Amino acid sequence: MKLVVLRVVVVGVMFLLAAPAAAQPAGPKERGFAFEAQLGTRFYAADYGDGPSMPLTAVDGGFFAGYKVGRFQVGASIDFTRYSVELNGHTVASSLLTIMPGFRAAILRSGDERVEFFGQVDFGYGHDFRSGPTAGEDHNRVVYQIGPGIRLWFHPNFAVGALVGLRGEFDIQQGEDGATIGWTSVFARLTLTGVF
């Protein structure tokens, strides 16, 4: 009798443990803190102090943190780029810090809600901290990026994705010789998103 009761208890516990997994929705978690790690390519400007800024290609990373409600995510990302170069006996260094509020929206979803086509819009402001011959120059940066992407939710809390879009940057130099230099480029990103 004790053996039968033990078997019933063990089978019951197994069903209870298996039930939440079976009842778990296939799509993403609907609400929660969202964190997105990014790895991609973009152009950035390098100013060596003897002419206009030069656009260079870079592999960059970053993150986006915010809140997810249903199909929408709202938050901000922080981008940081630093370069240093030896030029004519002087070291020219630049550290660009940009804060970009952003918005992501799932436009289309598959029937099981695991795959979604989404759109992204980011708009930000940054400041370029200089050292070397260009240290006295005050550079501000206005940045936007917009594009579509696709995301796969392989778990209700985690997704991988990719997007491609347009990124515009405007380097605004203050002072007597102030100038605004702008460039638009195509960017591509791989993302890993978590919702908690």
Residue 136: band (very low, low, confident or very high) from pLDDT cuts 50, 70, 90: low
Task: Write the CATH number of the domain with boundaries 2-195.
Answer: 2.40.160.20
**Residue 12 has what pLDDT?**
56
Per-domain residue ranges for the chain? 2-195
Percent above pLDDT 90 for the chain: 46
**pLDDT of 55 over the 70 cut:** no
On whether the pTM is more than 0.75, the answer is: no
Q: How far apart are CA 179 and CA 64, in angstroms?
A: 31
- Least confident range from 21-25, 84-88, 172-176: namely 21-25
**Residue 22 has what pLDDT?**
46
User: 89-103 burial string, b = 16+ CB within 10 Å, else e?
Assistant: eeebebebebebebe
**pLDDT of 21 over the 70 cut:** no
**Mean predicted lDDT score pLDDT of the chain:** 81
- Asked if residues 151 and 163 have their Cβ atoms less than 8 Å apart, the reply is no
Contacts of 151 (CB under 8 A, 6+ apart): 106, 115, 116, 118, 159, 160, 161, 191, 193
Sort 189 into a burial class: Cβ within 10 Å, 0-12 / 13-18 / 19+. Answer: buried
> What are 90-134's pLDDT values in tens digits?
787 888 888 999 999 999 999 999 999 999 999 999 988 877 666
